[in-house]
Amino acid sequence: MGDTGKQPLPRNKIIVGDCIEELEKLPAESVDLVFADPPYNLQLANELYRPNNSRVDGVDDDWDKFSSFETYDRFTRDWLAACRRVLKPNGSLWVIGSYHNIFRVGTALQDLGYWVLNDVIWRKTNPMPNFRGRRFTNAHETMIWASTGQKARYTFNYESMKALNEDLQMRSDWLLPICSGAERLRQDGRKTHPTQKPEALLQRVILAASHPGDVILDPFMGSGTTAVAAKRLGRAFVGIEREKAYAKAARDRLKSVETLDPASLQAAKGKRAETRVPFGTLVELGLLSPGTALYDPAARHEAKVRADGSIACAGAQGSIHKIGAHVQGAMACNGWTFWHYEAGGALKPIDDLRAEARQKLAS
Amino acid sequence: MGDTGKQPLPRNKIIVGDCIEELEKLPAESVDLVFADPPYNLQLANELYRPNNSRVDGVDDDWDKFSSFETYDRFTRDWLAACRRVLKPNGSLWVIGSYHNIFRVGTALQDLGYWVLNDVIWRKTNPMPNFRGRRFTNAHETMIWASTGQKARYTFNYESMKALNEDLQMRSDWLLPICSGAERLRQDGRKTHPTQKPEALLQRVILAASHPGDVILDPFMGSGTTAVAAKRLGRAFVGIEREKAYAKAARDRLKSVETLDPASLQAAKGKRAETRVPFGTLVELGLLSPGTALYDPAARHEAKVRADGSIACAGAQGSIHKIGAHVQGAMACNGWTFWHYEAGGALKPIDDLRAEARQKLAS
DNA sequence: CATGCACCTGAATCTGCCC
DNA sequence: GGGGCAGATTCAGGTGCAT
């Protein structure tokens, strides 16, 4: 992958340096998840984050909006491209921003071939009011979640997100308080970092899009919320931060963070996570004998189990799914829940037998 | 302003034609407010079926197909520039979109010199779920509100918005239902337009950013919601629509719309939904740490809280409700009152913690 | 006439694995 | 990388019919 001379991936470290330069030192395809909270002050971007850091700028007196956007766009493309190289093919990336910069980021993402999966709205319970009364209270920030491409098989812990939301699908709008109170880092009574993100936000991102043990990269580490949430949730982190003071604050903060015990980190599992049991195995294990009759819930159709794990119904024969779809005239069918067998005078789904088979196979 | 040969501004008319061509015929600086609902460029690759095998009737119209981002960007720049010419200096523009297109739109806006005032999130009370369980439910759309420039003195009816929101500043996230039921236009039982917007959404936009008597332009008129809301609120409208069938449907629809007398405009009060607090939020907010033990009132069962808001008990895992039902051998269970945590030697229902969470989340 | 239940639908970039 | 196939996957709200 052209990684000659790259350093091995430093794990659980915060690197002090320019994010693009430091990203280029990391090995390709080594990171599972990126969370980025890039700067969005366009003028600052012009001064502080010029891609080629070696050139001292002295020509910014006459910069205008256009050149400012242009500089910001170049900067955005550079760090997004650098992240893309470092991401594993099935990794994914989150970026948070506001209307000042998020459109530039989203456009750059798409132009680079990232595939947007969702835009997620962080609704703040306690936003700063609009003091002048000339606009709507700016009560949210926008996150973009993207995979490395349209075909990528990214991680999404659907069941965990559903569990977090009382058994309803997690929506694209998240209500969470801003970072304040004891969680907010302070030095001499003043906040250490101007845009410290709440841990709850990062925890949800990490729970949604990574597994325990994964490596999470934050190219704009700041006060270290990403690293804190990653450590707490049993993930490894790599942080990049150009300000020594922020890096130090983050390191200090990490010292008191404990990783949760593995049992607490177990993710809610759905059927997808279960081991696959082909229907034929039920026959092989003797849970269902060849010749047994299967019925749909209304007992309108009857099919016979055959020794090879196919079923036959009214002249047609094939898998439980194919025949289930066929008798309904449907495009597809989950035969496990469609077909039932008779037990004690009642019809029970063959899915029950699959559970039995799983137990037998596990022991 | 170089308007020689332009037609006078047609008021309360729907023009059939290409939006850019028609915009160029209109006089410069003649419009107070633009609301635009451009094609989203959805790029749907496959058919989608619900779990019950019914087909989702998605947007597959030719007008939503673009060959590349580049083509879409050019189209976007062209219509935004044309709108800019037609807008009065103190007018403003709204565009609605989704993550498929909104970043392109926002970038184009900024590049053309528009000044973003807010991005406003339309949170849908009843969005379509994510049927395959592979992403977050796409539960919102994004609107960008922009003035013609940084110095422009745009209209914002701060007090009206505050009144709509129980005397609190209107936030940048709006909760409104999608357009369905009697409001949804239908022909032969099928929806007339695939993406009809709710009147409530347009009413709020128009109330926020225009005065009675102002002229409101919609370059992608569709089924006419902008015109309907404008007429109802005593504003003039100009609509442009390429498809004759949509233009006709909009004209028919307008016939039965009455302009409200100013006094009754006060009637529409915003409803504030009570915040729903999922169990997972207690974990996210740190009110209950992962690993904490929960007990039923008699302390016969013990369950452990996990980081994703699921709980685990004797090999089973799931939501507080599911596991509560499971250990009791019941069909259902209210986990909030069933499960207790230990505090000061006593067992207290986790419902107590929900009250605390609600306070933290109160907005 | 009220209640209940079955059915329908909405701007959707919506699968994973094996061969 | 494409084809084939197993099999996993939905929430809020409106309409309309049956009881």
Cβ within 8 Å, pair B307-A263: no
- What pLDDT shows up at residue A283? 97
Is the pLDDT confidence value at A334 over 90?
A: yes
A352 Cβ contact partners less than 8 Å away, ≥ 6 residues apart? none
Q: In the prediction, which pLDDT does B265 show?
A: 60
Residues 196-215 of B with CB under 7 A from strand C: 196
pLDDT at residue A126 above 70?
yes
Q: Using CA of residue A15, residue A20, residue A22, residue A28, what is the dihedral sign?
A: positive
Beta bridge partners of B137: A171
Angstrom distance (rounded) from CA B220 to CA B240? 6
Extended beta strands in A139-244, E state: 140-147, 173-176, 186-187, 190-191, 215-218, 236-241
Number of inter-chain CB pairs under 8 A, A vs B: 221
Q: What are phi and psi of B216, to 5 degrees?
A: -115, 125
B53 and A333 in contact by Cβ < 8 A? Answer: yes
Strands A87-97 and A31-36: parallel
**What are A258's two structure tokens?**
């404990």
pLDDT in tens, chain B (363 residues): 445 557 899 999 999 999 999 999 999 999 999 999 999 999 999 999 999 999 999 999 999 999 999 999 999 999 999 999 999 999 999 999 999 999 999 999 999 999 999 999 999 999 999 999 999 999 999 999 999 999 999 999 999 999 999 899 999 999 999 999 999 999 999 999 999 999 999 999 999 999 999 999 999 999 999 999 999 999 999 999 999 999 999 999 999 999 998 766 654 444 455 688 999 999 999 999 999 999 999 999 999 999 999 999 999 999 999 999 999 998 889 999 999 999 999 999 999 999 999 999 985
> What is the pLDDT, as a whole number, of residue A51?
41
Dihedral sign for Cα B126, B130, B136, B142, please: negative
Element (H, E) at B123: strand B115-124
B132: tokens are: 């395959």
Cα nearest neighbour of B153 on chain A:
A134
Report phi then psi at B218, rounded to 5.
-125, 110
Q: Is residue A207 pLDDT above 60, yes or no?
A: yes
- Residue B190 contacts residue B13 (beta carbons within 8 Å): no
Nearest protein residue to the C1' atom of D11, measured from CA: B129
Residues 6+ apart with CB under 8 A from B74: none
**Pick from B133, B139, B171: which is nearest to A139 by CB?**
B171
**Cβ neighbour number for residue B315 with a 10 Å cutoff:** 5
Of B224, B222, B220, the closest CA to residue B251 belongs to B224
DSSP three-state, residue B23: helix
DSSP reduced 3-state for A265: helix
Q: How many CA atoms lie within 13 A of A267 on its CB side?
A: 25
Q: Is A11 left (phi over 0), alpha (psi -120 to 50) or beta?
A: beta
**8 Å CB contact between A335 and A282:** no
Q: How far away is chain B from the Cα of A136, in angstroms, using its nearest Cα?
A: 5
Q: Is the CB of B134 under 7 A from strand C?
A: yes
Yes or no, beta carbons of B137 and A164 under 8 Å apart: no
What integer best gives the mean pLDDT of chain A? Answer: 92
Is residue B123's beta carbon less than 7 angstroms from any atom in nucleic acid strand C?
no
Predicted local distance difference test score (pLDDT) of residue B4: 54
Span CA (B217) to C1' (D15), Å = 35
CA B111, CA B32: separation in Å to the nearest integer? Answer: 21
Q: Which residues contact A52 (CB under 8 A, 6 or more apart)?
A: none
Across the range A48-58, mean pLDDT stands at: 42
Q: Which residue of A has its CA nearest to B44?
A: A150
Coil vs helix vs strand at A146: strand
pLDDT at A296 over 50: yes
Tokens, residue B349 = 């229902």
Distance (Å) from the alpha carbon of A296 to chain B's nearest alpha carbon? 15
Q: State whether the Cα torsion A275-A281-A287-A293 is positive or negative.
A: positive
List bases in chain D with any atom under 7 Å of a protein Cβ.
Answer: 1, 5-15
A 10 A CB-CB count for A133 gives 13
Residues of B in contact with A102 (CB under 8 A): 103, 106, 119
For the domain bounded by B13-129+136-265, which CATH number is listed?
3.40.50.150
Residue A65 pLDDT more than 70? no
pTM of the entire predicted model = 0.95
Beta carbons of A136 and B143 less than 8 angstroms apart: no
* Res A278: pLDDT: 97
Mutate to test the interface with B, among A173, A232, A328 (most CBs of B within 10 A): A173
Judged by CB atoms closer than 8 Å, whether chains meet at A119 and B137 is answered as no
The stretch A83-96 carries a mean pLDDT of 98
Q: Which of residues 97-136 of A touch strand C (CB under 7 A)?
A: 110, 115-118
CA distance B17 to A342: 65
Residues of A in contact with B110 (CB under 8 A): 65, 69, 103-104
Report which secondary-structure segment, H or E, holds B238.
Answer: strand B236-241
What pLDDT does residue A2 have?
47
Tens digits of residue pLDDT in A27-44: 999 999 999 999 987 665
Cα separation, B107 vs B295, whole angstroms: 53
**Inter-chain contact A265–B158, Cβ cutoff 8 Å?**
no
Cβ neighbour number for residue B89 with a 10 Å cutoff: 12
Tokens 């009675």, located at residue: B212
